[in-house]
Amino acid sequence: MTNISSFSWFDLSKYDAVEDLDLNGWYFQLEARQVIYTCSKYLKNMEFISMPTMELLNTKAKNNIALIKEKPLLIKEKSPLEFSSVKDADYLNLYWANYYRNNDLKNILKLSINEVTKDMLSKLVVPRPDKESAYDSAMLMISLGATDEQLKKDFDKWLKNYRSHSKCTVRKKQFTEPKTKKWTNNKVLPYLDLTLIADFENKQLTQNQLGRLLFPDDYDVDLTERIRRTVKPLADFLLDEATFESLNIQVGAT
């Protein structure tokens, strides 16, 4: 068990403004923590990442830790890029679809239209995803002559079928203000800072220690159970790649 004095940098009062964060602000704060989380994960599995990438990630993680220790609510330098979950497909989309799913496409696309045979045309169809690939983009042909009602009906049918074949996971509902209040009330951001930095620095905090640091004024509750049953699951949810991606898309689209 780590001596709690090792976390003298931690000051719960520095998180008071968390309650003022909107979804954009939450995404920005979580993005910095995601770097630390990813770096710690890869440090334990070095075979999955190149050394230059690991060094770059490690440097960024250390910088983020230094900033968080000084002032945990990081200042947003810029707004996220505008993003839409539906947009025109381009050649790069086709290239990645080819890279992940169809080795025949690359060679066929190099040919002139007169050289493409009927047999080749069948291979030009971008296949459905499979359980082995988490590639999270798809390409559609839209018949603009159809009514809006028909397009929406057909898209819902296509989406349900497509996702049934895909490994890609998605959150069912959008993030809302009540969600962020729940994260704030349960001290999820300071919990992430304590646990992620402890893991990165090879230290260990017990759930009881975490409870006393996060809820110093709560005497009539079982803090260990609160950490185990409420705070940790919320923190794990926010660090999950599917959650982070969904939040990224929603913030970029607003």
pTM for the model stands at 0.70
CA dist 201 and 29 (Å) reads 20
CA dist 154 and 165 (Å) reads 17
Is 140's pLDDT higher than 70? Answer: yes
Per-residue tokens: 168: 């890609």
Is 149's pLDDT higher than 80? Answer: yes
81-97 pLDDT tens trace: 566 666 666 666 666 66
Q: Look at residue 166 and give its three-state secondary structure.
A: coil
pLDDT band at 193 (very low <50, low <70, confident <90, very high): very high
Instruction: Give domain limits for the chain.
Output: 4-80+172-253, 91-165
**H/E element, 33:** helix 23-43
- Angle formed at CA 224 by CA 223 and CA 228, multiple of 5 degrees: 115
104-138 pLDDT tens trace: 665 666 666 666 666 665 555 555 555 555 556 67
Length of the chain: 254
Mean pLDDT of 163-173: 69
- Mean pLDDT check: name the lowest of 46-50, 133-137, 206-210: 133-137
156 vs 104, higher pLDDT: 156
